[in-house]
Structure 1
């Protein structure tokens, strides 16, 4: 089955004349072994190591040249966003592909905003894993087909794109804080808070804060 995806990997190799060096980080032994099984026998890919926690993986990346890190976004010692930022800060050439069972657009976007080059669901096929590794090595986003569909809807406005500041304001509105109280907490003026509130109402296509909080909760923003 993996042989079908070999030409995808070769596309990278023809340019770089080198094997793609990969590590896998996941705290679930069955998932970890599944990725190892997918990748260990590919001629154009070197599976350098596997890890069950972020700290040992980060130490390995620090001392070795790694092309791609397949990174679980929920590790026991560090969340994926933190780990992704550390990896990309260490070596700008090391690419991170997040792996997860979570398909919530806001979480996917946060990982991409944190420097991840791709995002895969753990139940995706071996062909999709290899294709995504190839994509990120070619400078393209590495997204499994399910994630690509979700993010296309997200970017078309079916699911709103919310800035970090709007996310803060949204969380505080959900707590029932007034514009003045929110402004005091995050050091902006009440008028600026009101501007964020109006933008949020427009983005979520609702007319009041109660409906905003309900819709944002439905979409897992809060």
Structure 2
């Protein structure tokens, strides 16, 4: 039986080295590539054609949400397993919407990590116990948020994905000036002064 081919994507080289050290001795797994950026991840997947990608959400050049969407769109048979420290329901649900097959926290044991890889490779979903508990937890009553237009919501979601105004303009076929106007309007409507506060408040109000 051929081993499961895995590509590791994380922006910390020590994490990549540690994951490789944990997984390489396992006979049913083969680490075929590593990447510390989204760009490197796309190249590694194109070169090595893995079965499973272990993907961190925090990457320096692009959000892991966008990376997951692109990989699962370009490679329909590929299984993406989120491996992250982000323990928030909004990130779990967004990763699932973008095509991820599972969500695992970085406090997982080596045995659980290996099991998760095998499960998603077999076509099943995998969530760590902490994540399952998070998904089952009733959502708090959302605070009344500002009224935003459909286009503003599209821009908001892409801002949360880590896209620049230029990238958003390209994606939505708008001018960069129009996107900047939407961005300023969102900051004003939410009553915040920067993008980080905008994303945090939008997530609290379950708009992401």
- The question of a shared fold, defined as TM-score above 0.5 by the shorter chain, is answered with yes
Q: How many residues align?
A: 158
Decide whether aligned partners of structure 1 residues 41 and 55 sit closer, same or farther in structure 2, where only a CA change above 3 A counts: same
Q: Does 1:174 align with 2:145?
A: yes
Q: For the Cα contact (< 8 Å) 2:90–2:203, is it kept in 1?
A: no
RMSD: 2.5
Offset of 1:219 from its aligned partner?
A: 5.0
Within-5 A mapping of 1:66-85: 66-85=50-69
Equivalent-residue separation in structure 2 for 1:49 and 1:30 (angstroms)? 15
Q: Does 1:159 align with 2:139?
A: yes
Q: Secondary structure at the match of 1:98?
A: strand
Offset of 1:90 from its aligned partner?
A: 1.6
Equivalent-residue separation in structure 2 for 1:29 and 1:220 (angstroms)? 35
User: Which residue matches 1:124?
Assistant: 108
Show CA shifts across 1:5-31 (max 9, x none): xxxxxxxxxxxx221000100011222
Within-5 A mapping of 1:93-104: 93-104=77-88
Show CA shifts across 1:29-74 (max 9, x none): 2222221121011111111011111101101212332100000101
User: Which residue matches 2:96?
Assistant: 112
Runs of 4+ with deviation above 2 angstroms: 216-222
Q: For the Cα contact (< 8 Å) 1:31–1:122, is it kept in 2?
A: no
Q: Does 1:40 align with 2:24?
A: yes
Runs of at least 5 residues in structure 1 that lack an aligned partner in the other structure: 1-16, 161-169, 188-215
Offset of 1:220 from its aligned partner?
A: 6.8
Equivalent-residue separation in structure 1 for 2:205 and 2:32 (angstroms)? 36
User: Which residue matches 2:128?
Assistant: 144
Q: TM-score, normalised by structure 2?
A: 0.69
